[in-house]
Amino acid sequence: MKLHGYYRSSASYRVRIALNLKNLHVDTVYVHLSRRGGEQFTPAFSGLNPQQLLPVLEDGGAVLTQSLAIIEYLDETQTGQKLLPADALGRARVRQLAMVCACDIHPLNNLRVLNYLTGPLVLSQEQKNAWYQHWTHLGLAALEAELAKSPLTGQFCHGDTPTLADCCLVPQIYNARRFHCDLAPYPTILRVIAHCEALPAFQQAHPDTQPDAE
């Protein structure tokens, strides 16, 4: 298998965590999102993924995009720790938590969105940061409420082993810290993050530890 990614890509970060949790080793192709106008826009990469987004996983002749689809594919086809629960209700809850990060918070704060705000819309850095923090806090507040109220929350988002939900939450909190979001209102999230960050699988997936980190 071959993973096309970038050290600070949230979606690539999710997949790295999943690969580590399942103890899978893949070849990595580094795609720089800003160098020379963005290597994701080259004809070669666009041929792999017409969306021009990361990550991309190649497995034999198959080419997979979208981080959640990639992680579920790995969970269904590879051995190692399961990232989705065995029961239907548990799987639905884990997907629900994961999608708060991957579908509600992250797309509004993706690099291409932020670049559009400061480019064609001519927003200032302060306005861009206010945009980022607004959508992050809106999503994290809902996530905190769900995690805090549910008896299904354990050391991690769902129970006492990491799942797809934790793979998505950790990169989102990394981003929130980069943009100086106040995380004090989210004690349950911070407790879960602390458990995640204590595990080698998460530590080794951290952007700062990647060979292409700058």
Q: Is the peptide bond before 55 cis (omega within 30 degrees of 0)?
A: yes
**Chain center to CA of 209:** 16
Dist CA 65 CA 82 (whole Å):
20
In sequence order, what are the residues at sequence separation of 6 or more whose Cβ sits closer than 8 angstroms to the Cβ of residue 105? 135, 136, 138, 139, 140, 172
- Residues 87-102 pLDDT 10s: 999 999 999 999 999 9
What pLDDT is attached to residue 122? Answer: 97
SS (H, E, C) 58-114: EECCEEEECHHHHHHHHHHHCCCCCCCCCCHHHHHHHHHHHHHHHHHHHHHHCHHHH
- Residues 43-55 pLDDT 10s: 999 999 999 999 9
Model confidence at 74, in pLDDT bands (50, 70, 90)?
A: very high
What pLDDT is attached to residue 193? Answer: 98
- Residues 153-195 pLDDT 10s: 999 999 999 999 999 999 999 999 999 999 999 999 999 999 9
Tokens of 206: 């951290």
Model confidence at 86, in pLDDT bands (50, 70, 90)?
A: very high
Please provide the average confidence, as pLDDT, over all residues in the chain. 97
Identify whether the C-beta of residue 56 lies closer than 8 Å to the C-beta of residue 65: yes
Dist CA 128 CA 122 (whole Å):
10
What pLDDT is attached to residue 51? Answer: 96
Dist CA 170 CA 203 (whole Å):
11
Dist CA 179 CA 58 (whole Å):
32
- Residues 121-154 pLDDT 10s: 999 999 999 999 999 999 999 999 999 999 999 9
Mean pLDDT of 199-205: 98
What pLDDT is attached to residue 123? Answer: 96
By percentage, how much of the chain surpasses pLDDT 90?
99
Model confidence at 61, in pLDDT bands (50, 70, 90)?
A: very high
